[in-house]
Chain A
Amino acid sequence: MNKNKSSFINGLLTENPVFGLYLGICSTLAITTSLNNAIGMGVAVIFVLTFSNIIISAMRNIIPNEIRIPVYIVIIATLVTIVEMLIHAYAPSLYSALGAFISLIVVNCIILGRAEAFASKNGILASAMDGISMGIGYTLSLLVMSLIRQILGTGILSFSNPFTDATIFSFTIIPENYVISMFKDPTGAFLTFACCAAALTAYINHKKKKEASR
């Protein structure tokens, strides 16, 4: 269990899929324009990642090695389609905001990466934990990116209920005349991503140095 716990923490920080392992960057850059998108996408990925890890882990002994990748893809695509249909039915505004990126979770390399690297070699419980921690790590990265981009780009931090579209909170943080609208664009996404990834690497290097000097 201790091993599980440390790998859980790893997924959140040092092995954070986005800023640490550079996985799943495409969707991260594209959808982190608002907090709503980030949370919606994050929850969708946590769901898909956890269940694909569980199913693949449960089937790891019966999946023939030669066709493991097609089988993984079928499982992942099925889960993604289920999530897509659910979001379409119950959170239509989120569905239109995320657009094609929901379907593109299928090719989000975090999911196939974890299936191949972890779930196919470990037990169900460990795989589920791995899925949750990697999913939360991905979601945290989305949150950090979207917080920075939404605040700098629009000056407003807001969140609304994805099922009813009712605004839950909305603060104006930067006056309208001082926003940097570039942060709503891909340019801002790349800048934000680079800064966050650099910060995480700096932290990891610092920790390594400390351990080495000990």
Chain B
Amino acid sequence: MKKIIYLTCFLAIVCAIAGGALTVVNDMTAPVIESMAIEAEKENLELIYPGADFTEVENTDDTGLILGIYEAAGQGYVYKLQNTGYSSTPFQFLIAFNLDGTVGGYQMLQSSETNGFGARAWEDEYTNTILGLTSSDAFPLLSGATVTSTGVVEAIDAAKAHFNALQGIEYDENAVAEAPALATGNPVALNSDLADYNATVTDEVADGDKTTYTVTAYGFGLLNGQSDYSENVFEVVVNNTDLTIDSIAMTQFGDTAGIGDKIDTPEYFDLFKGATIDSSVDTVTGATFTSNSAIAAAQAALNAAGGQ
């Protein structure tokens, strides 16, 4: 019995001495390791607060979206965030809140999101939107880059939660930003060459002055040879007297959900009203192919009505 107590005590003493030695070394190296970590990050942080004095803040986030939190003395907080968008490789970016809650900076660090789609989350249009907000605002999604911007907003929400708790700012965490108005532009002439879209009139029903044409047209998927996509089907009503479009509607959607189906709004289809073969119609930003497919369908219907 005595022997066991002796052995236990001996081992305990050895462990205590070892623990003491480790504490001393840890106290020595921990600040160096921490400043190294900031040093490695500093180049990025300086993009937002040049020349500021950075210290790392304890990361209490449990969403896993916040990689690091850095305080720029007297100026604000920088959050290094990571989330996954459309690409399986996660993107990383920084968002900074000034001490008064306004967004102090928004900077992409790495991203494999698609150019022209998800990558637009870091281009001027969206960046300027974000730079005009505060930590208590709801951050909007970016039309045409829904998947990526959802990831961005999700990560920013985590940063907002941390920042607002830290600064004692009260805000409505469930607020959802209003969907931005449909962004249209880059008009396409109705008489331009849209043969690739293979718009085909499959049915026509005459009703007095108006004829309803059922037109199938390729969208993004079929143009790019992807087998799991199908054609878009439109019903185009043409005024026979002056060969203008009376209305257009999409009856079947074969493109990417969440991207191409953005065109399926009365707001967009109203743009076609009264168009002749010499008119131009805008495309929906971020849904160019599907928009073109509707324009090709309108073209096919007008040509059919014109007897071509």
- Chain A contact-residue range equals 10 to 19
The docked-state distance in angstroms from the alpha carbon of A88 to that of B32 is 9
* B25 engages A85 (CB within 8 Å): yes
**Nearest chain B residue, comparing its CB with the CB of A88:** B33
The answer on a CB contact under 8 Å between B22 and A71 is no
A198 CB within 8 Å of chain B: no
A57 to B32 CA separation, bound complex (whole angstroms): 33
Contacts of B6 in A (CB 8 A): 64
Would you call the interface of chain B mostly helix, strand, loop, or mixed?
helix
Within 8 A of B (CB), among A55-75: 63-64, 66-67, 70-71, 74-75
B28 CB to nearest chain A CB (Å): 8
Contact of A92 among B22, B28, B36 (CB under 8 A): B36
A70 touches B21 (CB 8 A): no
B137: min CB distance to chain A, Å: 38
B14 close to A (CB within 8 Å): yes
Give chain B residues whose Cβ lies under 8 Å from the Cβ of A70.
Answer: 11
List, in ascending order, chain B residues with CB within 8 A of A71's CB: 10-11, 14
Q: Cβ of B73 < 8 Å from any Cβ of A? A: no
- In the assembled complex, B115 has its CB within 8 A of some CB on chain A: no
Asked whether B182 is an interface residue with its Cβ less than 8 Å from the other chain, the reply is no
Cβ of A89 < 8 Å from any Cβ of B?
Answer: yes
A178 CA / B32 CA spacing, docked (Å): 43
A78 CB–B CB distance under 8 Å: yes
Please state if B32 and A64 are interface contacts (CB–CB under 8 Å): no
**Is A88 touching B29 in the complex (CB atoms < 8 A)?**
yes
Contact A82 B14 (CB under 8 A): no
Per-residue CB contact flags for chain A residues 64-106 toward chain B (1 = under 8 Å, else 0) read: 1011001100110110011001101110100000000000000
Shortest distance from the beta carbon of B56 to any chain A beta carbon, whole Å: 15
B26: CB under 8 A from chain A?
Answer: yes
Query: What 0/1 pattern do residues 1 to 22 of B give for CB contact below 8 A with A?
Result: 0000011001100110010011
In the assembled complex, the Cα of A75 lies from the Cα of B22 at a distance in Å of 11
Chain B residues positioned under 8 Å from A64 (CB to CB): 6-7, 10
Looking at chain A's contact residues, is the secondary structure mostly helix, strand, loop, or mixed?
Answer: helix
Which chain A residue lies CB-closest to B37?
A: A92
Asked if A78 and B7 sit within 8 Å, CB to CB, the answer is: no
Does A67 lie within 8 Å of B10, measured CB to CB?
yes
A74 touches B14 (CB 8 A): yes
CB distance from A47 to the nearest CB of B (A): 13
Tell me, in angstroms, the Cα distance from A156 to B172 when the chains sit together.
Answer: 58
| Closest Cβ neighbor of B19 among chain A residues | A78
Of residues 91 to 129 in A, which have CB atoms within 8 Å of B's CB atoms?
92
For A86, the chain B residues whose CB sits under 8 A away are 25, 29
- The distance from the CB of B38 to the nearest CB of chain A, in whole angstroms, is 12
List, in ascending order, chain A residues with CB within 8 A of B32's CB. 89-90
In the assembled complex, the CB of A99 is this many whole angstroms from the nearest CB of chain B, namely: 16
Q: Are B29 and A67 touching (Cβ within 8 A)?
A: no
User: In the complex the two chains form, what is the Cα distance from A15 to B69 in whole Å?
Assistant: 52
Taking the closest CB of chain A, its distance from the CB of B42, in whole angstroms, is 14
B residues 195-237 in Cβ contact with A at 8 Å: none
Q: A90 to B33: give the CA distance in the assembly, Å.
A: 8
Q: Which residues of B contact A88 (CB under 8 A)?
A: 29, 33
User: Which of A63, A66, A82 meets B22, CB within 8 Å?
Assistant: A82
B residues 32-52 in Cβ contact with A at 8 Å: 32-33, 36, 40
A sample of 5 more A-B contacts (CB under 8 A), given A74-B18, A89-B33, is: A67-B7, A82-B25, A85-B29, A85-B33, A90-B29
